[in-house]
């Protein structure tokens, strides 16, 4: 077994991270106590730790933050992407300091404890990140025990018993249980979140794990948004008489979620000419519905500085990403083209149909905090709905 890595200050460890290969990281626990098992990924963003922890796309994952200053701006209710943290836990280099920000309402550690999420500080996150890049996203067990007593064999057994994300439909665990309306718009100084009072288009958003800021961007773009569960049928969607359909982000294996989501999307494409716009898991589900395949990535893309090239204009956008699966561009059928590509590894980041206003991207144009180079995609969606309204029946 490799030698355990102790906190730099040699303080008594109160948390332990165990990898399936026997590697053990000791550190300082904060947040909730207890044990969790998950896949381990890393995120390179320098801001937005609260949004990351509450992003439903991180279900089943412990997040390693490569930026060391985590927790220094606290947390506040306005920045939650969903009602509760969804990520299983967090790993950081330095223990969180006291929060200092005029919007801060609570310390990160207290917020995590109240929400039942485990965190470990004092970890060599650079070594951990290199291991993930080299060997892929491992399964891990993370335990926080103030007594500092850990059964290492049991921890490694728990990590090895994790079912993993491949073949796992997690959208069903994070989707809404019933439909609801959304009219809150993007945050703006000094009033915060205003309400959309003059929408131009009716949009049905399929919730595979939707981030609130995506819904805010749709509302800010002039949409009257109705959110439906991931399991909504074609008939249930069309009963709302939408002008367009949006496919949200979400966690897990798209092929597993696709067992029920793909027939629904195919039904919409077969029965209507509605504009369709997908993001992240929604992008992957759309690709599956069009006949392509998806694959599990070695360690995925998680960060706020990913360069993406628009293959049709040559423009390079800096984007926010969070995905562990990708569309295999070589399986795209005739009539569907690749529109965007990662400049990190060449993986697919966007598609569109050549004869219909149906398109999707792998990254997050709604990023906040984060780059806003790609917000134009929401305008492209509303422009498609405008054009459809002007087209004679």
Other CB atoms within 10 Å distance of the CB of residue 1: 10
Strand duo 276-279 + 244-247: pairing: parallel
CB 173 within 8 A of CB 207: no
366 is catalytic: yes
Closest CA to 210 of 260, 280, 275: 280
**Short-list 314, 366, 363, 310, CA closest to 341:** 310
The helix (run of H) or strand (run of E) holding residue 64 is strand 61-65
Cα separation of 140 and 22, whole Å? 10
Q: Let me know: does 219 contact 225? Beta carbons within 8 Å.
A: yes
Of the listed 16, 41, 280, 349, which one is catalytic? 280
Alpha helices in the chain (DSSP H): 49-53, 108-115, 125-135, 152-160, 171-174, 212-220, 234-238, 254-271, 281-290, 376-390
Active-site residue, 16 included: no
Helix H or strand E segment including 337: strand 336-342
The question of whether 364 is a catalytic residue gets the answer yes
Among residues 139, 201, 340, 364, the one annotated as catalytic is 364
Integer Cα distance of 250 and 174 in angstroms: 8
| DSSP per-residue letters across 177-229 | SS-EEE-EEEEETTTEEEE--S--EEEEEEESS--HHHHHHHHHTTEEEEEEE
Helix 281-290 × helix 254-271 angle, to 10°? 60
**28-60 residues labelled b (16+ CB within 10 A) or e (exposed):** bbbbbbebbbbbbbbbbbbebbbbbbbbbbbbb
**Which residues are identified as catalytic?**
280, 364, 366
């Amino acid at each position: 077994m490799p030698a355990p890595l102790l906190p730099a200050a040699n303080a008594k460890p109160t948390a332990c991270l165990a990898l399936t290969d026997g590697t053990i990281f000791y550190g300082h626990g904060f947040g909730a106590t207890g044990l969790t098992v998950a896949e381990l990924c890393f995120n390179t963003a320098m801001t937005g730790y609260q949004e990351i922890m509450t992003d439903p796309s991180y279900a089943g994952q412990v997040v390693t933050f490569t930026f060391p200053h985590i927790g220094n701006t606290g947390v506040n209710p306005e920045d939650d992407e969903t009602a509760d943290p969804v990520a299983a836990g967090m790993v950081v280099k330095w223990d969180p300091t006291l929060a200092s920000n005029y919007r801060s309402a609570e310390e990160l550690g207290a917020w995590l404890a109240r929400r039942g999420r485990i965190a470990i500080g004092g970890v060599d996150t650079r070594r951990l990140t290199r291991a993930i890049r080299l060997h892929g996203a491992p399964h891990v067990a993370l335990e926080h025990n103030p007594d500092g007593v850990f059964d290492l064999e049991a921890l490694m057994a728990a990590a090895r018993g994790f079912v993993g994300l491949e073949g796992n439909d997690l959208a069903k665990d994070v989707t809404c249980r019933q439909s609801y309306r959304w009219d809150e718009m993007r945050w703006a100084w000094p009033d915060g979140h205003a309400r959309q009072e003059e929408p131009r288009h009716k949009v049905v958003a399929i919730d595979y794990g939707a981030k609130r800021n995506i819904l805010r961007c749709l509302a800010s773009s002039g949409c009257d948004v109705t959110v439906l569960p991931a399991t909504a049928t074609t008939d249930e969607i069309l009963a709302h008489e939408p002008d367009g359909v949006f496919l949200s982000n979400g966690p897990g294996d798209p092929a597993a979620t696709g067992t029920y989501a793909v027939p629904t999307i195919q039904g919409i494409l077969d029965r209507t000419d509605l504009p369709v716009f997908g993001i992240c898991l929604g992008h992957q589900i759309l690709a599956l519905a069009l006949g392509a395949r998806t694959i599990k990535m070695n360690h995925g893309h998680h960060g706020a500085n990913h360069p993406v090239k628009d293959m049709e204009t040559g423009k390079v956008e800096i984007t926010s990403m969070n995905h562990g699966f990708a569309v295999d561009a070589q399986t795209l059928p005739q009539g569907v083209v690749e529109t965007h590509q990662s400049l990190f590894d060449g993986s697919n980041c966007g598609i569109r149909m050549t004869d219909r206003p149906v398109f999707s991207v792998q990254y997050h144009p709604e990023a906040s905090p984060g780059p806003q180079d790609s917000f134009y995609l929401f305008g492209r969606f509303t422009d498609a709905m405008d054009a459809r309204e002007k087209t004679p029946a």
